Structure formats: C-alpha cells, structure tokens
C-alpha cells in the first residue's frame, strides 16, 4: 500500500493526481471527523413577528373582570377550509385562554347563544340587540364577553391563519349595551399570521421549540409550518399573550395596635 501511495505522490504516469492525493491524505488523517452544525443562535438569526394591530385600554385588567363568557368562534365566509378551521381551532382557543390565566373562561354553547340572542354567530362589527351583553351577563354571570372570529384559514403551505378578537366589559344594569359597547372595549386584536413571512416562520419555530417539542422530540421545528393545528395554536398563543395582565391584589390592611 505504501508503494502505491509513493508511486502516486511521485506522479506515476499521471502527474495530475498529485494534488488530489494530497487532499485525500489530509482528509484521511483526520479520521471520520464530521464538522459540527452551526450553533442554534446562528441558524435562527432573523426577524421575529410581534403582533401590532392590537388595542389595549390598559396594561392591567380592571379588577372587576374575573369571569369572561367566550362566544362561539364565528367565521368570514362559508368555505370548507373555514369550517374545518373553526372545528379544529376552537378547542385550542379555550385551552390557550386557560393557559393565559387572565380570567375564568366560560364557553357559551351554540344552542344557548341562539336562545339568548337569536343566532349562533355574532361579531362586534355587526348590529347587536340592544341588550345583547346584558343577556349574556345575566345568563352566565360573567363580567365581560369575548367575541372571536376566524378571518382566514389557508391549510396548505404557506399556512396562514387570521383572527379577530374583542373583549368587552358587560355594562352596568339598565344601560344600552349595544350603544355603549365601544366605551366598554378592554382589548381587541385583528391580525393575519402568514407562515410565508420570515418573521412569522421564525417565531412559530421558536414556539415549537419552547412548547411543543416534548410531544414529538424527534421532529424538526419546521414541522409546525406544515401543521394547521400546531401553527394555529401558535397564532392563538401569540395574540392572546397581548391580553392585559391580571394585576396583583391589593395587600390586606392590618389593624393598628395602639
């Protein structure tokens, strides 16, 4: 073997092999070394999406907002994709609201909403019955009502999910809830998250690594960009994170000792 390598290094009958053989020797001397992958921070460099079309009256929830009635998710359009999107994402909405721990979540069933308000889907941008919020408040004992609307659902890559939310405080008894609703809005969001945008894709992969990797540890973080349910879960978490925070209760007063 040494004679063969010596022959090749001298040039043999093909001097052009000499540089090639030098390269082989250099590579062979390192053994089966594999260059390490780029650091995680280098691989994930790039922009990150942050919700921007958000209204929040204050950073802290009003102390009287403890129970929130969440209306059934409405949708724009009647396509099959939108209907499947509602069926898939509505349970995730309740789960993400529970994780936020901002208030007690009271889901309003479809048949109950029809009984109270005449139909099963209501949006904040349509005329509401004058006593709409009051009826919901009396029926559930809630302090506020959350309107939820799925505005876009594209289940094929690049996946896109759009949401419109509005959290409205139940007005005091005897007031026209529909007329004064704008003054009662606590929080609102109207965003479309498109996985084709680099910032959204990067933020979704971050969410997968922080919250979903334990479910499928062998999967790559990019799988969230091809899963409508997981990507939809990320969109909900990203928007609901902008809800006003629950303030710390005031310290109890202690009696003075004379």
200-258 pLDDT tens trace = 999 999 999 888 866 665 567 889 999 999 999 999 999 999 999 997 644 544 444 44
User: Mean pLDDT over residues 142-163, rounded?
Assistant: 96
> Would you say residue 41 has pLDDT above 80?
no
Mean pLDDT value of segment 78-105? 95
CATH of the domain at 143: 3.40.50.10610
Q: Give the CA angle between residues 38, 193, 107 to the nearest 5°.
A: 120
> What is the extent of the structural domain holding 3?
1-33
Clarify whether residues 29 and 136 are in a common domain. Answer: no
pLDDT value, residue 171:
87
In a domain, 74, yes or no: yes
Instruction: Check residue 3 and give its pLDDT.
Output: 45
Asked if residue 8 has pLDDT above 50, the reply is: no
Residue 189 CA neighbour count, 13 Å, CB half: 23
Mean pLDDT of 169-175: 81
**What average pLDDT score do residues 139-144 get?**
95
**pLDDT value of position 177:** 66
Burial 170-206 (b: 16+ CB within 10 A, else e): bbeeebebeeebeebbbbbbbbbbbbeeeebbbbbbb
What pLDDT score was predicted for residue 2? 43
Please give the tally of structural domains in the chain. Answer: 2
- Residue 69 falls within a domain, yes or no? yes
Are 65 and 113 contained in the same domain?
yes
């Amino acid at each position: 073997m040494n004679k063969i390598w010596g022959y090749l290094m001298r040039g043999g009958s093909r001097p052009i092999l000499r540089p090639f053989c030098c390269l082989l020797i250099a590579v062979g001397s390192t053994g089966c070394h594999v260059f390490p992958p780029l650091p995680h921070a280098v691989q994930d460099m790039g922009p990150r999406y942050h919700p921007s079309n958000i209204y929040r009256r204050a950073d802290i929830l009003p102390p009287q907002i403890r129970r929130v009635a969440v209306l059934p998710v409405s949708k724009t359009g009647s396509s099959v994709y939108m209907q499947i999107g509602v069926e898939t994402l509505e349970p995730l909405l309740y789960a993400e609201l529970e994780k936020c721990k901002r208030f007690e979540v009271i889901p309003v069933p479809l048949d109950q909403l029809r009984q109270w308000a005449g139909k099963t889907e209501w949006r904040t941008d349509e005329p509401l019955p004058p006593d709409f919020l009051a009826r919901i408040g009396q029926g559930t004992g809630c302090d506020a009502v959350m309107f939820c609307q799925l505005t876009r659902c594209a289940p094929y890559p690049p996946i896109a999910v759009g949401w419109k939310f509005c959290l409205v405080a139940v007005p005091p008894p005897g007031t026209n809830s529909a007329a004064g609703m704008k003054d009662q809005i606590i929080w609102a969001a109207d965003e479309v998250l498109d996985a084709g945008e680099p910032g959204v894709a990067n933020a979704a992969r971050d969410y997968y690594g922080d919250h979903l990797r334990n479910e499928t540890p062998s999967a790559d973080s990019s799988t969230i960009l091809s899963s409508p349910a997981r990507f939809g879960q990320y969109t909900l978490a990203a928007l609901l994170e902008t809800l006003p925070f629950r303030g710390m209760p005031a310290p109890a007063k202690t009696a003075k000792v004379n």
